[in-house]
Structure 1
């Protein structure tokens, strides 16, 4: 079996190079551990041949950066971290000690040791000092205080959303974690709250190869996870940089602080309520100088409970005064580079208390504003920098970066400023497997990789196979396996019997619905995943991450397009096409209505387990049905619904078509292919699909019992002047008094009035029933210069149309009245009458002109396809128009096709036209 590995979080760097040193180094003496490659550690014993294991190590140790591409059987190298601006994110003290002895500082790192950077006592020597000075020459690094509440929240997040799937349970001692758990090292010595948060928000900017993916953390989650990872920070290293004043008293609005005397003053490290000695009836005022790195527009974020205000250079930027719960306020603010005076005012009345002020934009990741503040107008020096760094030392470090081989693996600078390696290394074809960096006792001119004897032997096997030309071309499945191993997909997912959640990590995978068992907490297997998922959706998931299973704590991370492009292409080979097209005897709107019935609580009850857009399921909360046709391939959908157990053994998904027989045989033709295809067609409408029955439990359904029912309110698909009319026959319509026309028709339930009758009643409400059809927009009647003239499409009122209200006949049926710009008074009455299988509507339009009008027209229908069959007109195989009285014109138009009724009118004489609508 051919495998490669993995993703690695938060190690500083990989460097593999040939260099000229002055002494010989023993690899075992310099290494407290060995390089950890999770896929190698997990699969070497049972699943990897020596050569395949060696190829995996060659990829993950970045050997190809120095020795060139080996062959097509070795994955592209795991690129070393980008070191441009490294001083902004990494402590210079950490850089020095790590460069001198990588394995001691971070056990498990793939970074080799360099004798040229270590003194005899194992401490950093002058070269390490110089190299660290160069890397930190642009440093703005500064430690920040870590909040205990954030640490507690971050611990829970880290061990639930997927971080621990690669790095293991950090609550255990390191020696108790499995060997394939990627070590983190002492992050509190390396990062600050701001720099680690920035890295986690976009890890691909620093580690472009996707081994450390993004979990798309929110700003709040970023701060909490970062705080947990830095929980061991020595707080004495944190420099207070914000002034505060504390006041005691009871206020319901922000007080005038100039009239108050503080009970205490001091310096703090962040703008939070922790600066107060009380938790009720107090106020705080923070001040300092915000050091803006470059001119541009920034976003200021404020969250407070209770009132607060942010002022920059004396100008109120955000105000959230009064008593209120915490909420997020954001404002944009243009600032020049340099210091800006900041004042933050806050008061707490009673109850919960919170204050958080952040900044982002113009290249800054969202972070606490205090991270960029100083007490005085002058910017503070980096906390762990020497008072003055000798420029010659920095230049010496730059030269070492090029000559030692750092530049072979690490990027530093862009374009012409990018530093290049000044030496070369032999290609894989010319490597001697017992010498150089593969030698247990490295010579004077090579880096020292911390490798076990087996790791070294496996790398030799891979090189010899390449040199002897005994490597065979990988199959598609072997290539998929290699990529999935390098990205560490197998720590969460199983594919074709390989991988899946390790026993050691099982308890780290949790879900919110215990009744779902493992299906609700363990990520799904990837057997045939390219057959299951639409290529565009699979691309989206791998490129951008996803959270489609709200019940599952673990998230699908974001790997980045450049790292998964080849995998996407290979997975398309999973596709099967076994399901034949399905033809329906009924019109599509009727098919969708039957599917809606099946999904609802009167048939298959899919809504009991699945979300439907914003509506929660009535039972367990599984994947949203409105996303299914976007996510899944139609062919797989058919096969899965026909036999769920065949695709996911043990699933709680019931079989609605056992042995190909439907449990609801009276719907459509009762066959599995037809019913499944109907559900697919219905779900293709996504969030626009009609809501299945059983979800709107608080609905106020209006019902016409003996007489028509008129509902005047905001109706979805109409202007705010919509008027809906219900009939006891269960055929309904909506008329738009803005467009002077009937716009919607439907069957079944009329409308749910709860949106408008409960609370403030905002928004538009969609009809409640089925078979809803949208009729032509624009006025129903117009006078055309010729039968070739375009139907008017401007706003009816602006063209001179006037709505005259409506009248009711003795049965309560309304007739809508309006006047055209040409002086024609129009009387439009629609009635329902019983028919099979559902009632139909008869429309009677009476036109009375002020003068002779030979070319008045009624627009009956528009559609892509209009055909005349057996004395009736069929619109898009959905609506049938019959019993038309008058001269009918079928013509092409900008909307496809139109069906008009031409009526010559005599002055002051009423002319009547009618037709029946069946759908």
Structure 2
């Protein structure tokens, strides 16, 4: 089995590496292609495909292309919402352009920005002039910038924790820089290096499903956006533009020259900045075999003597072309009165949106971009106000927060970029542990001051196990987002006293409740069961809103989709009725009180006694539940052991019953203490492995092969009064509750009297299934290279229809006669399957397993 897992892992890694390379194509493929339209990540990913309204896409372009730097937006004098004003992104500050950029590159870029860097958001201000004029003007402006804009680099202050080496930019290592680029989050926006080896993560069932469906099927299932490739933001020929010193300084403090921080600040040390610069100057060069003349220099120098008259001409052209509308520099000019955006005539051939070669400002806009801008201007003319949701989405789109985070089914890490996002040490924490957290409902979850500190980079990481880092954004974004999140998400801002009441003397009870399951996944003030690396729960009162904390603990799956967090309060009942009269809300208040008392209060008892000698789990009075890694159930296994000495493991990734065995349960040492240990093996005997893939699928015909993957979404599990989990999942509009328990003695088969398992699956649906065109839903009861009917009178119908079947491995599965009479046998050259159709809703399936 382990050899098989290794083979599967190797194949998966190879596939993800190839797929990732295909999506994250090199920027060099588009170098010197002036026909590429300006690249605005949020527009190209969403508005271009209709995922967001064209008006919102147009407003995004008006800001990101800095149209509103010249054209005034918003009309506060008319009493309209000031939020209607669209802030321009503006270009980089030019105070230090003379020491940061190559003069030759500046001249080339100013002369033809879309040819030098295809996809740039810099407009072409010389497009209506002859080639000779373009060269003369750009040469003069470049000379002016190099001679006069030479403010020195900001001082990098060394500390004991972050020393700054002398001439640190000379000490960069390209290999270390490649590792930073491909693991810290850069590839969420930019192209990867095709030569970089992706270690890879196991493909999720949803991603596997995307591989099997054609475009029409993807559209029908609402998966078109998830399957779509995410284009990369171009970087251009960095070696021609920067020196080692200038690029290292930029990466260390992007806000110094680009205050809009579309390139966020990843809080790199000086050494990390030098490493990343060394890699980028090699990887993003028009000549991969050399970092080029410019990059090889420590600092740009004046490449030839600039005639003072030429410098003066450049200054005059800088003023005449109104460059100061977008760029801050040492010269101060009175900007001309801006034309109101509402006065822009989209039909004018000579205007910015026109197609005349004589228009002053030129972008290679494509028809989709142009139409979106026209609609945004028309919408503004109609007097439509801008909602808080639009304001919030506008900021998230402009800052490309959707490049990493998902909110309300929009955004998230691109499909083929996911292999680059892993946990440190490849600890299995699922997608929750390796991908940036979703932003759905984050305004109701996080306290605004904490969210401000997170966005502005002032808080320590609470997820140190993630390789990707949350970057630092501008103060404008950091202060605007929390208020809008809270308003849009209808945050309950009640303090802890209003939510929980009096919590005096509840901390001790809260400490006991931590041992129900919290200690298996979370740390407490840096203390945990060895090997556990989850979110630290200490100081939670400074991060989480009390009302959200209570709602989440009562039913995690309703608040956070696909969460691994189980439901402990099933149907509003506590698994510890002996504490606080079993009142769930008082118990949650006790948890809150305990967490707020840390670190002064004692740690949970399981952590204090975690170094006991024996880690074998032996269920006695109640079931034992362990989330672990098992050969048959995979990296998302939920193992459940019963005092009756019969056990199973549920695969939460493929959403299936995976393994069953009898006798001893599991050794928890590897799970609790050594996350890199081999998979947990059942300690008992007579282990039975069930087939991979979901137990449910929609089939157009009963005789078609069972799909290798389906879009079944795991919704967590809840604990019933007896301590057993009930697994929750969704598929094709149907809600499933899956409960597995030991088979009672009187229900065992005559031929198999040993302990077995009974599984009860309840299906409910809010959709109408009377539609004849909809594919029927089927349940796969049993599978094997052959199946034999068993004459079992306990499951036999009066008509003689048999309700039990056995495969060659000796596993007998029985279903009630009412289901058996509708069953269908699927036969192929390799397998036989026993299938049952789902005819109506609600629907209940009872299955007995014995072996």
Cα separation, 1, equivalents of 2:398 and 2:292: 40
Among candidates 425, 436, 440, match of residue 527 of structure 1: 440
Q: Which residue of 2 aligns with 1:214?
A: 265
Alignment of 1:462 onto 2:518: no
Matches within 5 A, 1:543-692: 543-544=456-457, 547-573=461-487, 574=489, 575-576=491-492, 581-583=499-501, 588=504, 590-599=505-514, 603-692=515-604
Write out per-residue CA displacement over residues 480-514 of structure 1, whole angstroms, 9 at most, x where no aligned residue. 22221111111122222222222232223222355
Alignment of 1:476 onto 2:479: no
Q: Which residue of 2 aligns with 1:398?
A: 315
Cα separation, 2, equivalents of 1:621 and 1:514: 8
Q: Which residue of 2 aligns with 1:190?
A: 241
Alignment of 1:540 onto 2:441: no
In the TM superposition, residue 536 of structure 1 has moved relative to its aligned partner by: 1.1
Alignment of 1:111 onto 2:122: yes
Contact 2:573/2:584 (8 A) holds in 1: yes
Contact 2:492/2:545 (8 A) holds in 1: no
Contact 2:267/2:471 (8 A) holds in 1: yes
Matches within 5 A, 1:730-741: none
After superposition, the Cα gap between the structure-2 partners of 1:80 and 1:198, relative to the gap in structure 1 and judged at 3 Å, is same
SS in 2 for 1:99: helix
Matches within 5 A, 1:850-861: none
After superposition, the Cα gap between the structure-2 partners of 1:672 and 1:107, relative to the gap in structure 1 and judged at 3 Å, is same
Cα separation, 1, equivalents of 2:150 and 2:366: 36
Aligned residues: 518
Contact 2:230/2:414 (8 A) holds in 1: no
Cα separation, 2, equivalents of 1:220 and 1:146: 8
After superposition, the Cα gap between the structure-2 partners of 1:697 and 1:420, relative to the gap in structure 1 and judged at 3 Å, is farther
Cα separation, 1, equivalents of 2:464 and 2:470: 11
Among candidates 431, 442, 449, match of residue 363 of structure 2: 449
Contact 2:168/2:271 (8 A) holds in 1: no
Contact 1:91/1:141 (8 A) holds in 2: no
In the TM superposition, residue 388 of structure 1 has moved relative to its aligned partner by: 2.5
After superposition, the Cα gap between the structure-2 partners of 1:170 and 1:581, relative to the gap in structure 1 and judged at 3 Å, is same
Write out per-residue CA displacement over residues 860-911 of structure 1, whole angstroms, 9 at most, x where no aligned residue. xxxxxxxxxxxxxxxxxxxxxxxxxxxxxxxxxxxxxxxxxxxxxxxxxxxx
Among candidates 61, 67, 71, match of residue 65 of structure 2: 61
Cα separation, 2, equivalents of 1:79 and 1:178: 28
Cα separation, 2, equivalents of 1:518 and 1:536: 27
Cα separation, 1, equivalents of 2:321 and 2:475: 32
After superposition, the Cα gap between the structure-2 partners of 1:697 and 1:155, relative to the gap in structure 1 and judged at 3 Å, is farther
Cα separation, 2, equivalents of 1:219 and 1:688: 37
After superposition, the Cα gap between the structure-2 partners of 1:614 and 1:465, relative to the gap in structure 1 and judged at 3 Å, is closer
In the TM superposition, residue 235 of structure 1 has moved relative to its aligned partner by: 5.0
In the TM superposition, residue 161 of structure 1 has moved relative to its aligned partner by: 1.4
Write out per-residue CA displacement over residues 726-778 of structure 1, whole angstroms, 9 at most, x where no aligned residue. xxxxxxxxxxxxxxxxxxxxxxxxxxxxxxxxxxxxxxxxxxxxxxxxxxxxx
In the TM superposition, residue 529 of structure 1 has moved relative to its aligned partner by: 0.7
Cα separation, 2, equivalents of 1:569 and 1:409: 28
Among candidates 169, 175, 188, match of residue 192 of structure 2: 169
Matches within 5 A, 1:656-805: 656-696=568-608
Q: Which residue of 1 aligns with 2:216?
A: none
Cα separation, 2, equivalents of 1:50 and 1:605: 47
SS in 2 for 1:515: coil
Cα separation, 2, equivalents of 1:172 and 1:474: 46
Structure 1 runs not aligned, ≥5 long: 1-10, 12-28, 241-268, 270-370, 372-381, 701-919
Matches within 5 A, 1:153-552: 153-171=176-194, 178=229, 180-232=231-283, 234=290, 237=293, 383-413=300-330, 417-421=331-335, 423-424=336-337, 426-433=339-346, 434-442=348-356, 444=358, 446-467=360-381, 469=382, 471-512=383-424, 513-544=426-457, 547-552=461-466
In the TM superposition, residue 432 of structure 1 has moved relative to its aligned partner by: 2.1
In the TM superposition, residue 107 of structure 1 has moved relative to its aligned partner by: 1.0
SS in 1 for 2:69: helix
Write out per-residue CA displacement over residues 112-162 of structure 1, whole angstroms, 9 at most, x where no aligned residue. 1233797637x96222111001111145999x9988972112112212211
After superposition, the Cα gap between the structure-2 partners of 1:60 and 1:116, relative to the gap in structure 1 and judged at 3 Å, is closer
In the TM superposition, residue 538 of structure 1 has moved relative to its aligned partner by: 0.9
Q: Which has the larger radius of gyration?
A: 1
Higher strand residue share: 1
Alignment of 1:43 onto 2:46: yes
SS in 2 for 1:76: coil
Cα separation, 1, equivalents of 2:531 and 2:550: 24
Contact 2:172/2:274 (8 A) holds in 1: no
SS in 1 for 2:580: coil
Q: Which residue of 2 aligns with 1:304?
A: none
In the TM superposition, residue 389 of structure 1 has moved relative to its aligned partner by: 2.1
Alignment of 1:132 onto 2:45: no
Contact 2:109/2:116 (8 A) holds in 1: yes
Cα separation, 1, equivalents of 2:564 and 2:309: 69
Q: Which residue of 2 aligns with 1:836?
A: none
Cα separation, 1, equivalents of 2:501 and 2:344: 65
In the TM superposition, residue 184 of structure 1 has moved relative to its aligned partner by: 0.8
In the TM superposition, residue 58 of structure 1 has moved relative to its aligned partner by: 0.8
- The CA RMSD measured in Å over matched residues stands at 3.3
Contact 1:545/1:559 (8 A) holds in 2: no
Cα separation, 2, equivalents of 1:660 and 1:529: 24
In the TM superposition, residue 211 of structure 1 has moved relative to its aligned partner by: 1.8
Per the normalisation by structure 2, the TM-score is: 0.56
SS in 2 for 1:47: coil
Contact 1:199/1:206 (8 A) holds in 2: yes
Cα separation, 2, equivalents of 1:479 and 1:425: 23
In the TM superposition, residue 477 of structure 1 has moved relative to its aligned partner by: 2.0
Write out per-residue CA displacement over residues 655-708 of structure 1, whole angstroms, 9 at most, x where no aligned residue. 2222222222223332211111111112113444433333356999xxxxxxxx
Cα separation, 2, equivalents of 1:569 and 1:58: 24
Structure 2 runs not aligned, ≥5 long: 1-26, 76-82, 154-166, 197-226, 613-851
Q: Which residue of 2 aligns with 1:278?
A: none
Higher helix residue share: 2
Cα separation, 2, equivalents of 1:98 and 1:636: 51
After superposition, the Cα gap between the structure-2 partners of 1:583 and 1:385, relative to the gap in structure 1 and judged at 3 Å, is closer
In the TM superposition, residue 181 of structure 1 has moved relative to its aligned partner by: 1.9
SS in 1 for 2:416: helix
